[in-house]
Amino acid sequence: MDVSCPDFEHRRIVCKHVYAVSFSKELRRRIVSQDAQPTIRAAIIPESNVCDRCKSAIVKDGLRHNKSRDVQTYRCKECNHKFIINTGFEKYRATPKVVTAALDLYFKGVSLRKICDHLRQFYSVKMTHASVIKWLRKFVDVVKPYVDSMSPPRLSGVYHVDEMMIHAKRERMEVGHYQWLWNLMDDTTRFWISSMVSQRREAADARRVFQDSKNKTNHTKTIIHDGLKSYDEAFQKEYFSLKIPRVQNIRSVSVRHEGLNSKVERLHGTIREREKVMRGMQTKETAQKVVDAMRINYNFVREHSTIGKTPAEKAGIKLGLGEKKLENLIRLAAADKNKY
């Protein structure tokens, strides 16, 4: 405290200098807590320059003439093994550009047959709608284990959870062909943490969602839901504790049905747009694949209009995907899988 300050010298009160120091300390604390948190980073994996069998040096060895394009082939100097380098797209007949264009159109709500027509007109590639579905399944199988292994370091800890009914044509329930899709999302970063499909919406199903969230995140402060009894029962089993600080259980219910869950409900609108074009899903397993693919695209590829970046970047996962986010994400995931 500055003893020469008139406020302190004559009036003996806390002066402006003390306020300035206090403000500076608080500002520094907030900067450290919000911006200097750990960040998950990964560089784009470069194409390998060694043999995929014996790890020896390789040389170029002519071109392979395919229907769609010419592909550079390589030969190992030691074992004479001949192969191509195309991490993440080794067994695709189409180019990475065509595959990722089809996936991007799918995530934007374009129907499968319109995607095939687009590929034929602009890329001179003839594909069936079954090929696009096959690419989508491969995308999920390769990328999902990679992204689910990451625990976003900058989540707020305030999570919104809600369920929605989806149409599964080949699944028979008591009333119609329907399943329940459970979604859990972070409040600040909009990071879509969990997406699970179930036949019912009971406490056991809600517990699976909470357990999945606990496996993927480091801490939980608050769970916000719409008041469904299953959430309360699941919360008691998974989060209730006498230790402080306790996880808060907030039932967001209002007279006008405008509670605190608008962010996850907006996510449901995005999912509904895709489902409407498909006129429903086929089976529970198909629905889970589609939703997992949408979650990956939502978190790591699609820039969120409100936060100005992808939810993964906002949550502290910076993979350096550049302009070709889908292609580079597939290559990263495939390279990570090949390490084991």
Q: Tens digits of per-residue pLDDT, 104-132?
A: 999 999 999 999 999 999 999 998 988 99
Residue 209: both structure tokens together: 């969602």
96 found inside a domain: no
> Is pLDDT at 206 greater than 90 in this prediction?
yes
Pick from 31-35, 166-170, 326-330: least confident: 31-35
Give the Cα separation of 48 and 88 in Å (integer).
12
Residue 160: both structure tokens together: 């919104």
91 found inside a domain: no
- H/E element holding 73? strand 70-76
Residue numbers of the domain that contains 19? 6-35
Which of the pair, 284 or 11, is modelled with greater confidence?
Answer: 284
Q: Tens digits of per-residue pLDDT, 176-193?
A: 567 899 999 999 999 999
When computed from its CA atoms, the radius of gyration of the chain, rounded to whole angstroms, is 26
Phi, psi of 236 (to 5 degrees): -60, -35
116 found inside a domain: no
In the sheet with 192-198, reading across from the earlier edge strand, the strands are 192-198, 178-186, 158-167, 222-225, 248-251
What average pLDDT does the structure give for the chain? 83
318 found inside a domain: no
Looking at residue 236, which CATH number applies to its domain? 3.30.420.10
Beta strands in 168-302 (DSSP E): 178-186, 192-198, 222-225, 248-251
**What is the predicted pLDDT for the residue at 160?**
94
The pLDDT-based confidence of 232 (bands split at 50, 70, 90) is very high
The pLDDT-based confidence of 1 (bands split at 50, 70, 90) is very low
Give the Cα separation of 253 and 320 in Å (integer).
40
Which of the pair, 11 or 30, is modelled with greater confidence?
Answer: 11
Mean pLDDT score, 135-144: 94
Are the C-beta atoms of 52 and 83 separated by less than 8 Å? Answer: yes
Residue 245: both structure tokens together: 């600080």
Q: Tens digits of per-residue pLDDT, 19-43?
A: 667 766 665 665 445 544 567 776 5
306 found inside a domain: yes
b/e map 260-295, b = 16+ CB within 10 Å: bbebbbebbeebeebbeebebbbebebbbbbbbbbb
Q: Which among 209, 255, 251, 202 has a CA at the least distance from the CA of 226? A: 251
DSSP-assigned letters across all residues of 107-166: HTT--HHHHHHHHHHHH-----HHHHHHHHHHHHHHHHHHHHT---TT--SEEEEEEEEE
135 found inside a domain: no
63 found inside a domain: no
Q: C-alpha 221: how far from its chain's center?
A: 21
> Is pLDDT at 339 greater than 70 in this prediction?
no
287 found inside a domain: yes
- The total number of structural domains in the chain stands at 2
Give the Cα separation of 318 and 325 in Å (integer).
12
pTM of the model: 0.79
